[in-house]
A and B are shown apart, each in its own frame.
Chain A
């Protein structure tokens, strides 16, 4: 089926299989920040924004995204760089495989929640796993990022 997607502000038109999921379509188009980690919406490394909503792209059918607007880390490099500076300052990215998904979630959280507590942060980001850092460094980075902003 032919789909029309607006990805990071640019229009794309291509044929998608009926069972194709967004993580695969986006990676094929070159958006390599979107990682594949679990296929079951349980690790968060494929997190993207579809029409202003944070979703795991591994379970979002490409055809369902027809005529929708998609944002990946490639599309928010400036904001991501700012978030990155806080994560880098703590050394909390470690292997970095979960980082782009994590950045999308932090970016989305900041737009959705006003003055979140650390408990709100934990809940919002609960679906973004990280096996390297033990999360504490990420939380230090996020609390500093939110204070500064």
Chain B
């Protein structure tokens, strides 16, 4: 059996041994070096750009500006088609909208000569007033996308004249009337920050024309098929002329879902017929890719004296920066993947505006709105429990969603469109809660323990849900072929970006075929060689792509039996993974497959599986932490973080655990350390690993991740997703723990020592 086994990653050894596997490792040796001239101003118009000197340097092969590239609006978002994000970007534009926006592209034979050429480009800017505070962006007299051809593919509430990238509103029941009936109402305002993805591999792309004159792109992308589509449509190239190869990817977390350097290297290769590569500097990764959406979340919770929750209401202002990538969908997920947690309320309200500002754009990022929404909702649940003088565990137990139940929100709110009705078939929140409380030793530690004169410890807890792909949108497919000697090639569109998805897909395949995993050779994401997949996002790979592999493998079992019936000339043929069997007659798959190619009834056995989710079963999690606060400094130290997860079957328990541990630390980073800081002119001041506080191994004390027994009937071998759920709880957990320790609610992320200190001493 292969599923639920902690086998090593199929690509693990090669990666650790440092074999060439990443985009820059695979770039042709003679690649032109491509660099992007970045805007020093937050909002400006290019009055004049003189590239004459640069262009006449013999080692400079190509200079691109808005003057010589196609003037075509598109969305960089890297989503399915039609995209729910506004078409507000151009390859290069006359107007620049944030510090770090692309102004020109220069390609030459060495980094040094390109830097020299860039220094010789003269640019005259007309400075425009920037909008830097997202709370003043709506209807600001400065319009960021003013008559620039910006449009949307369908109604997403996009009103560029109001600096509105997207907006959304929905109501179930009457929030106003139900609030009047409540005994208590909690109202809170929470702020979350722009967080950087900080994956270790910078965004990288390479382009060259192969011997058949086809444009080949190697890119560190989470969405190779979207890259091909967006590139082809925007550059007016037939998709048949483009091949996108996804090699190994050095982390993504949503940051590589969008298009980054692909257009620039493609255009350079097209103009020069030379291979070209663009490897972002770390500063570019910080300044010029994108961040998590900064949000202001107003939450209202209404309840009766007995603890019954009656009303949930969320009103969000989200900052999408200069371009509206994922503006609508991240907003909606803030509600759709939090509010169903308490599904028995009478009324639910959700509305939000996503505004443009002149800062680095926001985009997809693990958690994708759910982490922002969860911070407000789960902090609010603790607050209303306090108002009711109730135990925060009891109020959750009374009101949280259970197996066999549903929520109207599933039906109403999808991602950028209507949702899908769904009954929850697996939900072990109760079990997760019990395990978490026990591991935290909650009863002895709640609410707080005084350590000494200065230090106090508190415990806090939160629950969370996520999804497993987007129903009727996210599609995955696989091709499985049998080789002589009885091993299989599994070709998947699913995009392993370091998560281990190649491995778990091999496990699902091996389980279905009843063979060992080493018989499955996985190759992922090459638009010429593998079938389609929407890509690595929305927690879709295990559930959606996993099903496609199961289907291909089930078909293969039938194919082997069919070929066996011909071979044995009998209807009574079986296949047990090792042998093809007909009564007493047995032939090994190894011999049988070899005969199939060379000697008898020759044919290639190959099958295709494709799958679109009909629902998006949420994984659930209970997170809890014990924190210690030094009142002299305000420093918050995590003594223990306990995560208990229901993700259905863990296809690979080790990889599932690491996914949750990594997500937890990213969430802890968001809660305590990380923030993209900008000057009053909009310049990012912590755009390096020296200044941007990614948690290091010194910050990790004790993370305790475990999984409860759970089986999702609609999932492949009972699995749901696990990639994002781990990031959702740390903000609320830690804020709740601080509240329990100090009696102070921290409502703004990150919760830095100085913020805690100021809150204690009311400075």
Interface residues of A (CB under 8 A from B): 17, 27, 32-40, 42-43, 45, 72-74, 77, 80-81, 83-85, 87-100, 103, 122-123, 125-126, 128-139
**Known A95-B248, A134-B663; further 13 A-B contacts with Cβ < 8 A:** A17-B112, A38-B282, A73-B17, A84-B12, A90-B658, A93-B12, A93-B15, A94-B251, A94-B658, A95-B251, A99-B15, A133-B661, A137-B661
Partner pick for B22 among A40, A85, A97, A129, CB 8 A cutoff? A97
In chain B, positions 583-629 with a C-beta closer than 8 Å to chain A are none
Q: Identify whether the interface residues of A are mostly helix, strand, loop, or mixed.
A: loop
A73 touches B18 (CB 8 A): yes
A-B contact pairs, 11 of them (CB 8 A): A38-B689, A84-B17, A85-B13, A91-B500, A93-B16, A94-B500, A126-B696, A131-B200, A131-B694, A133-B662, A134-B658
Which of the four size classes fits the interface of chain B?
A: 35 or more
Q: Please judge, given known A-B contacts A129-B696, A131-B198, whether A137 and B658 are in contact too, CB under 8 Å.
A: yes
Q: Please judge, given known A-B contacts A42-B690, A91-B500, A91-B657, whether A81 and B13 are in contact too, CB under 8 Å.
A: yes
Residues of chain A contacted by B9 (CB below 8 angstroms): 88, 91, 93
With both chains docked as a complex, state the minimum distance between the C-beta of B750 and any C-beta of chain A, in angstroms: 17
A74 touches B689 (CB 8 A): no
B703 touches A130 (CB 8 A): no
A132 touches B251 (CB 8 A): yes
B282 touches A96 (CB 8 A): no
Binary flags per residue of B23-38, CB closer than 8 Å to A gives 1, else 0: 0110000000000000
A139 touches B199 (CB 8 A): no
B688 touches A130 (CB 8 A): no
Interface residues of B (CB under 8 A from A): 6, 8-9, 11-13, 15-22, 24-25, 112, 197-202, 248-251, 253, 279, 281-282, 497-500, 652, 654-655, 657-658, 661-666, 688-690, 694, 696-698, 700, 703, 705
Q: Please judge, given known A-B contacts A32-B20, A77-B17, A95-B498, whether A126 and B654 are in contact too, CB under 8 Å.
A: no
A33 vs B22: C-alpha distance when bound (angstroms) = 10
A140 vs B42: C-alpha distance when bound (angstroms) = 46
B664 touches A95 (CB 8 A): no
A103 vs B18: C-alpha distance when bound (angstroms) = 9
Smallest CB gap from B283: residue in A = A39
B689 touches A136 (CB 8 A): no
Q: Please judge, given known A-B contacts A88-B16, A103-B16, A129-B689, whether A134 and B700 are in contact too, CB under 8 Å.
A: yes
With both chains docked as a complex, state the minimum distance between the C-beta of B462 and any C-beta of chain A, in angstroms: 18
Residues of chain B contacted by A97 (CB below 8 angstroms): 15, 22, 199-201, 250-251, 498
A93 vs B249: C-alpha distance when bound (angstroms) = 12
Q: Please judge, given known A-B contacts A95-B250, A96-B12, whether A81 and B17 are in contact too, CB under 8 Å.
A: yes
Closest 9 CB pairs of A and B: A33-B18, A95-B498, A96-B15, A97-B250, A134-B661, A100-B18, A91-B654, A84-B16, A134-B665
A135 touches B700 (CB 8 A): yes
A132 touches B279 (CB 8 A): no
Smallest CB gap from A39: residue in B = B282
Residues of chain A contacted by B694 (CB below 8 angstroms): 129, 131
Residues of chain B contacted by A136 (CB below 8 angstroms): 661, 700, 703, 705
Residues of chain B contacted by A139 (CB below 8 angstroms): 697, 700
Residues of chain B contacted by A123 (CB below 8 angstroms): 698
A94 touches B662 (CB 8 A): yes
Residues of chain B contacted by A138 (CB below 8 angstroms): 697
Q: Please judge, given known A-B contacts A37-B200, A37-B201, A135-B697, whether A96 and B250 are in contact too, CB under 8 Å.
A: yes
Smallest CB gap from A90: residue in B = B654
A9 vs B454: C-alpha distance when bound (angstroms) = 56
Q: Please judge, given known A-B contacts A40-B690, A97-B200, whether A91 and B24 are in contact too, CB under 8 Å.
A: no
Residues of chain A contacted by B499 (CB below 8 angstroms): 94-95
Smallest CB gap from A84: residue in B = B16
With both chains docked as a complex, state the minimum distance between the C-beta of A26 and any C-beta of chain B, in angstroms: 11
Most buried by A among B6, B8, B690: B8
With both chains docked as a complex, state the minimum distance between the C-beta of A134 and any C-beta of chain B, in angstroms: 4
Smallest CB gap from A42: residue in B = B689
With both chains docked as a complex, state the minimum distance between the C-beta of B356 and any C-beta of chain A, in angstroms: 28
A125 vs B700: C-alpha distance when bound (angstroms) = 13
Residues of chain A contacted by B112 (CB below 8 angstroms): 17
Smallest CB gap from A28: residue in B = B29
Residues of chain A contacted by B498 (CB below 8 angstroms): 94-97, 132
With both chains docked as a complex, state the minimum distance between the C-beta of A71 and any C-beta of chain B, in angstroms: 12
Residues of chain A contacted by B698 (CB below 8 angstroms): 122-123, 126
Partner pick for B657 among A73, A128, A137, CB 8 A cutoff? A137
Most buried by A among B6, B9, B18: B18
With both chains docked as a complex, state the minimum distance between the C-beta of B221 and any C-beta of chain A, in angstroms: 14
Q: Please judge, given known A-B contacts A81-B17, A96-B248, whether A35 and B654 are in contact too, CB under 8 Å.
A: no
Smallest CB gap from B201: residue in A = A97
Partner pick for B18 among A99, A122, A137, CB 8 A cutoff? A99
With both chains docked as a complex, state the minimum distance between the C-beta of B496 and any C-beta of chain A, in angstroms: 9
With both chains docked as a complex, state the minimum distance between the C-beta of A33 and any C-beta of chain B, in angstroms: 2
Q: Please judge, given known A-B contacts A83-B16, A134-B665, A135-B700, whether A88 and B8 are in contact too, CB under 8 Å.
A: yes
Partner pick for B201 among A35, A128, A135, CB 8 A cutoff? A35
Residues of chain A contacted by B24 (CB below 8 angstroms): 27, 36
With both chains docked as a complex, state the minimum distance between the C-beta of B619 and any C-beta of chain A, in angstroms: 17
With both chains docked as a complex, state the minimum distance between the C-beta of A129 and any C-beta of chain B, in angstroms: 6
With both chains docked as a complex, state the minimum distance between the C-beta of B581 and any C-beta of chain A, in angstroms: 35
A122 vs B283: C-alpha distance when bound (angstroms) = 27
